[in-house]
Amino acid sequence: MQGYLLKHQRPTRIFHWVHLVMFLALLFSGLAVFNKNLQFLAGLFGGLKNAAVVHKYLGFAYFTVPLIYIVLYWDLFKKFIRTISTFDDDDKKWLKVAGGYLAPLIKGQVPPQGKYNAGQKLLGWLVIAFSCVLAATGLVMVFYTAFPPLVVRLAYLAHAFSGVFLGCAVIVHFYLAAVNPSSRRELKTMLGDGYIEEEFARSHNLKWYKEMTANKGN
């Protein structure tokens, strides 16, 4: 497409939204089951008992779907991991100025970024890390009879903290990708055909823009 660059391929976009919907269902069902003050959320699932069932079995799907994606699209996953694992001086400077999102509270020039900015890279690893914690602690909670009581109690605490933390991260991610005027075009890219305007890429992902346009010229 003239004037556009492909940022997110179809398998990645589908995986992103399927996984997000599952996470939200798990978050709301989990809050309903584990917090009496939030039991009204169980109405979304037809009752508290249904919410508990959804949380238990959807939890297995939440961790199975990424494994299927990794197996089927290993090259895409490997490239993603390589990208979010690359932190250079510009990424460190981006974090120091919070990407310019907290100006004028935090002042400083926003350095050029790659396909993902430093915040997105950090978020990627936080999602992976805390999802692994959710998986491990969830298994302990399901098979609680096989573990000492102290381990089970700690698993509940870690599970709750990880879930709430990721919930907060999703809120921030949604705001920056869908609401913030300077970056909300990202949502259209992930919801649509995966293409982003070259103009937007040049201003927000200059390093990636140069890489992609250089390849286009070859």
pLDDT tens figures, 68-123: 999 999 999 999 999 999 999 999 999 999 999 998 899 999 999 999 999 999 99
Q: What digits encode the pLDDT tens for the residues 35-54?
A: 999 999 999 999 999 999 99
Residues forming a β-bridge with 197: 4
The overall pTM is greater than 0.85: yes
Task: List 5's β-bridge partners, or say none.
Answer: 196
CATH number for domain 4-215, candidates 3.90.79.10, 2.40.40.20, 3.40.50.1240, 1.20.950.20: 1.20.950.20
CA distance 49 to 59: 15
